[in-house]
């Protein structure tokens, strides 16, 4: 599959999802980037902005098996992964799959579950399998987790540990729609919810071919150096207690390739890296307490680094000269 074909797949899915989720094209494309990279998405926003609807619309558009897990404090790990049950007829234990066995899993309000239950997702998200009573069970392909959490309400929640956050390829926020978008939403739901009539637009085979295609997207050595320079800079920033891990470099590298393919190119440019730096790195960066007092968060840190880390191929303009050393107006 050529990059232009990947672009067509992304356009078909995003156009279909936008029939339900109004005015969030960029956020939908970020979710598609994660799908193409076989990565997971953390959607962090206040209630009622369409997080669950977005996940359902994506699942219906690609035709994958969809399961929803409502995370609560009393949820057990076995409620997620599955459990061995004794069969009296065969006198053997049989494994009954949990809701994690689906191609697209919505982990709704993931931070309401206890750390023990949250940890049940670690192996699934990283290795594509779950282990119950010493036996490993592979998850269906492709496997993607879309998790949601409310960043405002902290009572009765358990913050995700760094190891869990690091397994999400992308973190994004939907935000409130504009006034015109909200009016359009009211019009679309006047008689029925548009999600009820949403149809599948691509097959899982199309998605898997697109996933394979982005592996062929070329990344030049200077762009690789730029990616690593950005990640290394998070570890040396004055406001950062813990910078992004090497998994962050891989996440930015793969996401930039997917973004290039969605844009119809078979090569990555620095602008692709800039576009994906904040969604892939910000949730991997821990800001120190002194910076938090000054209302500095990880997104501000990434924006600062994008302004400071030199872009490959760019040369500072000499006094009285334009971009790249050319005389102004030449």
Q: Is the pLDDT of residue 166 over 70?
A: yes
- Please choose, from the candidates 170, 177, 175, 193, the residue with its C-alpha nearest in 3D space to the C-alpha of residue 275: 170
Q: Are 9 and 264 in contact (CB under 8 A)?
A: no
Least confident of 44-48, 118-122, 163-167: 44-48
Please check whether residue 314 is in contact with residue 273, taking contact to mean a CB–CB distance below 8 angstroms: no
Enter the tokens of residue 213.
Answer: 């295609």
Q: What is the mean pLDDT of residues 270-292?
A: 92
Contacts (Cβ under 8 Å, ≥6 apart) of 50: 21, 24, 174
- For residue 218, pLDDT over 90 is answered with yes
More confident residue, 254 or 192: 254
Element housing 227 (H / E): helix 221-236
- In angstroms, the CA 173 to CA 299 distance is 12
Residue 328 has pLDDT above 80, yes or no: no
**Per-residue pLDDT tens over the stretch 136-164:** 999 998 899 999 988 776 666 788 888 88
Q: How far apart are CA 124 and CA 137, in angstroms?
A: 10
Q: What's the confidence (pLDDT) of residue 322? A: 33
In terms of DSSP bridges, do strands 170-172 and 41-44 run parallel, antiparallel, or are they unpaired?
parallel
Per-residue confidence (pLDDT) for residue 330, from 0 to 100: 35
Question: What's the pTM?
Answer: 0.85
Confidence grade of residue 317 (pLDDT, cut at 50, 70, 90): very low
Give the per-residue pLDDT at 2: 66
pLDDT, one tens digit per residue, over 32-49 is 999 999 999 999 887 777
* Confidence category of residue 3, pLDDT binned at 50, 70, 90: low
CA distance 148 to 285: 19
| CB neighbour list of residue 293: distance below 8 Å, 6 or more residues apart | none
Handedness of CA 236, 242, 247, 251 (dihedral sign): negative
Measured CA distances, 85 to 79, 101, 275 (Å): 13, 17, 48
Residue 93 pLDDT: 87
Residue 97: phi, psi to the nearest 5? -65, 145
Window from 74-88, 153-167, 220-234, 314-328 with minimum mean pLDDT:
314-328
Q: How confident is the model at residue 314 (pLDDT cuts 50, 70, 90)?
A: low
Asked if residue 329 has pLDDT above 50, the reply is: no
Domains and CATH numbers, the chain: 217-314 (1.10.8.80)
Question: Which residues have C-beta within 8 Å of that of residue 45, sequence separation ≥ 6?
Answer: 51, 148, 150, 151, 173, 174, 175
């Amino acid at each position: 599959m050529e990059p232009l074909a990947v672009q067509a797949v992304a356009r078909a899915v995003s156009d279909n999802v936008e029939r339900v989720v109004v005015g969030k094209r960029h956020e939908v494309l970020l979710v598609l980037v994660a799908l193409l990279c076989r990565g997971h998405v953390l959607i962090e926003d206040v209630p009622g902005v369409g997080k669950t609807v977005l996940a359902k619309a994506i699942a219906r558009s690609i035709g994958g098996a969809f399961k929803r897990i409502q995370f609560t404090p009393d949820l057990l790990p076995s409620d997620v992964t599955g459990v061995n049950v004794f069969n009296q007829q065969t006198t053997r234990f049989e494994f009954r799959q949990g809701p994690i066995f689906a191609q697209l899993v919505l982990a709704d309000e993931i931070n309401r579950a206890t750390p023990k239950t949250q940890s049940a997702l670690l192996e699934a998200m990283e290795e594509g399998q779950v282990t119950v009573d010493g036996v490993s069970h592979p998850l269906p392909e492709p496997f993607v987790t879309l998790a949601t959490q409310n960043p405002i309400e902290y009572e009765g929640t358990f913050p995700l540990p760094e190891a869990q956050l690091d397994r999400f390829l992308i973190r994004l926020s939907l935000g409130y729609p504009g006034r015109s978008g909200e009016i359009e939403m009211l019009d679309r739901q006047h008689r029925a919810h548009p999600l009820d009539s949403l149809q599948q637009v691509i097959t899982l085979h199309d998605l898997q071919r697109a996933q394979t295609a982005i592996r062929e997207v070329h990344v030049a050595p200077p762009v690789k150096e730029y990616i690593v320079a950005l990640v290394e800079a998070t570890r040396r920033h004055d406001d950062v207690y813990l910078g992004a891990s090497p998994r962050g470099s891989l996440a930015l590298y793969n996401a930039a390739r997917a973004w290039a393919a969605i844009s119809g190119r078979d090569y990555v440019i620095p602008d692709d890296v800039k576009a994906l730096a904040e969604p892939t790195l910000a949730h991997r960066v821990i800001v120190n307490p002194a910076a938090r007092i000054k209302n500095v968060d990880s997104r501000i840190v990434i924006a600062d680094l994008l302004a400071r880390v030199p872009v490959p191929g760019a040369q500072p303009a000499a006094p009285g000269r334009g971009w790249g050393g050319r005389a102004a107006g030449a």
